[in-house]
Amino acid sequence: MVATASTPTPAALRALHTTVIGWYEGNARDLPWRTPDASPWAVMVSEFMLQQTPVKRVLPAYAAWLERWPTPAALAADAPGEAVRMWGRLGYPRRALRLHAAATAITEQHDGAVPDDHAALLALPGVGEYTAAAVASFAFRQRHAVLDTNVRRVFARAVTGVEYPANATNAAERRTAHELLPATDERAATWAVAVMELGALVCTARGPECGACPLFAECAWQRAGCPPYQGPARRGQTYEGTDRQVRGKLLAVLRDAHGLVEQGRLDVVWPDAIQRARALDGLVADGLVEPVGPGTYRLPQ
Ligand code: SF4
């Protein structure tokens, strides 16, 4: 494609954009955060939730969250522990605290309106490079390189010709993403979501459906004969037996309790006392659980 070492010509870029955006228009999923009436706050909530949780699990949580907290000010008025409770089983619950902190900053510093400026978004607590670009792009239709895991995988294969991207986003990927951006805001915003959708639906991590891919004829990885990945070991997603699993079990007790929880109720969730104590210490250190006395805990107030 999508040639690599040299910058693609403007005509090649336009053809690429037309191909991918055309595919998107015919294949995009109908998701609530993509509808015209989705507020910038709704887009921000979806981006926090989608970072490490699949769409199917996010959908009901997203709807419930926005019904309870339709604005940043509504969330900021509640305790952070309520955000942790509503986060439920989406996983990686520190995102709930970060979203609450962002809502508080938006309420206090931006009159309750999600800022449309990329730098202002990036300055919000809990908002990193990806989320700032995604909200600016999807909610405000601006031109930004939006590099999530799906986009990075598509570029790794179609542009660079390797099966998987590096473990962490690097300068070369950012350069590629910028080079491929359409010139106008509106088209760049559509391009961003279109490449992301292609990665989510077709160029998937384990079973890319290359025969159904609009980039098949030009894909660098295909043209190289689909060489297997040869980089450093990829991060695994093991869960069973990890501290993450123990943290999830402890937090579930606190979420369901609606009040103070005595140590004894936590001690029964996991047999290994050392691992259990380590997981609880971690939850306290992360601000997800508050000790309120000897052996008594609650969600943060
Ligand atoms: S042809 Fe296959 S590997 Fe290449 S971009 Fe499409 S789905 Fe991904």
pLDDT tens sequence across 199-212: 999 999 999 999 99
Percent of the chain past pLDDT 90, that is, above it, reads: 88
Which residue out of 151, 152, 157 has the highest number of ligand 1 atoms within 8 Å of its CB and is therefore the one to mutate? 157
Mean pLDDT of 150-172: 94
What is the C-alpha separation between 21 and 36, in angstroms, rounded?
18
Q: What would the two tokens of residue 257 be?
A: 């309790």
Predicted pLDDT of residue 5 = 47
Predicted confidence (pLDDT) at residue 167 exceeds the cutoff of 90: no
Confidence of residue 180 (pLDDT cuts 50, 70, 90): very high
Predicted confidence (pLDDT) at residue 7 exceeds the cutoff of 90: no
Protein residue with its CA nearest to atom 8 in ligand 1: 203
Predicted pLDDT of residue 1 = 52
Predicted confidence (pLDDT) at residue 140 exceeds the cutoff of 90: yes
Predicted pLDDT of residue 137 = 98
Other beta carbons less than 10 A from residue 11's beta carbon: 8
Which residue out of 164, 216, 218, 223 has the highest number of ligand 1 atoms within 8 Å of its CB and is therefore the one to mutate? 216
CB-based contacts of 56, cutoff 8 Å, min separation 6:
none
**What is the Å distance from ligand 1's center to 219 Cα?**
6
Average pLDDT of the chain, as a whole number: 94
CB-based contacts of 264, cutoff 8 Å, min separation 6:
295
Q: What amino acid positions are annotated as catalytic residues? A: 47
Protein residue with its CA nearest to atom 3 in ligand 1: 157
The half-sphere exposure of 208 on its side-chain side, counting CA atoms within 13 A, is 23
Helix (H, G, I), strand (E, B) or coil at 290: strand
Predicted confidence (pLDDT) at residue 3 exceeds the cutoff of 60: no
Instruction: Tell me the one-letter amino acid at 187.
Output: R
Predicted pLDDT of residue 233 = 75
**What is the Å distance from ligand 1's center to 175 Cα?**
20
Q: What is the DSSP letter of 4?
A: S
Which residue out of 4, 153, 154, 223 has the highest number of ligand 1 atoms within 8 Å of its CB and is therefore the one to mutate? 154
Q: Which atom of ligand 1 is nearest to the CA of 219?
A: 4
Confidence of residue 48 (pLDDT cuts 50, 70, 90): very high
Q: Which residue has the tokens 């981006």?
A: 47
**What is the Å distance from ligand 1's center to 184 Cα?**
26
Q: Tell me if the pTM is above 0.85.
A: yes
Cβ atoms of 275 and 238 within 8 Å: the answer is: no
**What is the Å distance from ligand 1's center to 223 Cα?**
10
Q: Which atom of ligand 1 is nearest to the CA of 215?
A: 6
Q: What would the two tokens of residue 293 be?
A: 């006395």
Residue-wise pLDDT tens digits, 225-251: 999 888 777 766 688 889 999 999 999
**What is the Å distance from ligand 1's center to 222 Cα?**
7
Please give all residues whose beta carbon lies within 6 A of any atom in ligand 1, as ranges: 154, 157-158, 202-203, 208, 210, 213, 215-216, 219, 221-222
